[in-house]
Amino acid sequence: MSGAGATALLVGTRAGLYRWQAGAVSPLDAGGEPVTLLASLPGGGSGAGTAAGELLQLGPDGALQRRVATGVREAVTALLHLAGPAPALLVGTERGRLLGSRGPGRSFEAIPVPVAAEAPLRLFAVPGRPGSALLLLAGQGVWRAADRWGSFEPWLDGGSPKPHELAVHPVEGELWLAAADDRVLRSTDGARSFRAAAGTGAGLRPRALHFSAAPPHHAFVVTWPRREPPDPVDPSPLCTSRDGGQTFHAIPSHRIDRARDPSGEISAITSWRERGAEVIALGTDRGELLEWRGGERRATLLADGLPPIGALLALPAPSAHDPSTSGVLLLP
């Protein structure tokens, strides 16, 4: 990636927010609170959630426009815009709180959740239903917002495991992946029921999930290390699927570990399409920013020496910016 029109990356770290583009790193909120979440917002903007419960509202170029207090000092774990006649902005926190703002997100009010539990709360848009959302309380269950934030209905069937993370296919709204304690699950009925995906048996320990933002929408799983410290002969912590999450295969370690400190962990992932190629960016808890393209033999180092990375978001070139094509994933 090079040149002024290249894709830029927002990089959320334990020491604030940065922007990477064409090999240069610039601080946006360096020295601020740890950034725990990055997400696209309408109009080409973005939002960053912090460990102190703040919401940073960013312009299309990543510039900080506004800092908003949500009213609670808890790490932000979810940010979702609901479109429609009465737009709303929803925020979830690491201790299971749900907050809502009617309009542009200048102030927030507490929303009762279906189950009181001090567990990370996630929010997911439902493709084709701009006013609908799924709420996940890690290890507790999944609910659908029946009338925005007025009430919730249980969504998972009684026999399905209670996941700690979900990912929805960008186009096929019935196809979802879920991360359970020791395996990856797959749903073809809109996250109502799940079955185990092949190649992700017990012991995998999935950390987070991701569907690439651009066609052909490959699926990725980031896992915790199989042992501590990681062994060089182990498969890498990044697994990929080219069949919609039916089967997963670990990417060989040598494709990634030559570009990073193998004792570190992948802690963030995002994706975009550039010049016809699928591009994956990986962040590590060693402050390394990597690029991996499916056709390449190994990852390449984009930047080093950043604070530990916790969240990434791809920002396409301004001339072609479309927030629906940016992929984002927060890792716990």
Q: Which helix (H) or strand (E) holds 256?
A: helix 254-257
Count of domains in the chain? 1
Domain membership of residue 60 (yes or no) is: yes
For residue 323, what is the DSSP state? G
Q: How many CA atoms lie within 13 A of 147 on its CB side?
A: 2
Strands 129-137 and 141-145: antiparallel
Expressed as residue numbers, the domain containing 53 is 8-330
Half-sphere exposure of 166 (CA within 13 A, CB side): 36
Q: With contact defined as beta carbons under 8 Å apart, do 208 and 269 qualify?
A: yes
**209 domain residue, yes or no:** yes
Q: Which of 291, 331, 283 is nearest to 307 (CA)?
A: 283
Which runs of E-coded beta strand occur in 104-180? 109-111, 121-126, 129-137, 141-145, 152-154, 165-168, 176-179
In a domain, 3, yes or no: no
In a domain, 245, yes or no: yes
CB 256 within 8 A of CB 290: yes
Distances in Å between the alpha carbon of 140 and those of 93, 277, 302, 332?
15, 38, 38, 17
Residue type, 274: E
**Cα gap 189→15, rounded to integer Å:** 40
Sign of the Cα pseudo-torsion (324, 171, 135, 186, in order): negative
Tokens of 121: 């709360």
Q: How far apart are CA 165 and CA 241, in angstroms?
A: 17
CA distances from 166 to 102, 129, 247 (A): 25, 17, 17
Residue 7 corresponds to which tokens in the numbers above? 């894709």
Task: Note whether 46 and 40 are within 8 A (CB).
Answer: yes
The reply to whether 191 falls in a domain is yes
pLDDT of residue 229: 59
Look up the pTM and report it: 0.89
Q: Which pLDDT score is estimated for 1?
A: 39
What region, left, alpha or beta, does residue 225 occupy, with left being phi > 0 and alpha being psi -120 to 50 degrees? beta
* Residue 267 counted as domain residue: yes
Q: What is the residue-level pLDDT of the chain in tens, covering all 332 positions?
A: 333 346 899 999 999 999 999 899 999 998 889 999 999 988 889 999 999 999 999 998 888 999 999 999 999 999 998 877 777 899 999 999 999 988 667 789 999 998 888 999 999 988 777 778 899 999 899 998 866 666 788 998 777 788 999 999 988 989 999 998 888 999 999 999 998 887 665 567 888 899 987 788 899 999 887 666 566 667 778 889 999 999 988 888 888 888 888 778 899 999 988 877 788 999 999 999 999 887 677 889 999 999 999 999 998 665 333 333 333 444 43
| pLDDT value for 329 | 40
- Radius of gyration over alpha carbons of the chain, in Å? 18
Asked if residues 248 and 197 have their Cβ atoms less than 8 Å apart, the reply is yes
Residue 1 resides in a domain: no
Residue 2 lies in a domain: no
Q: Looking at residue 127, which CATH number applies to its domain?
A: 2.130.10.10
Instruction: Check if the beta carbon of residue 225 is closer than 8 Å to that of residue 212.
Output: no
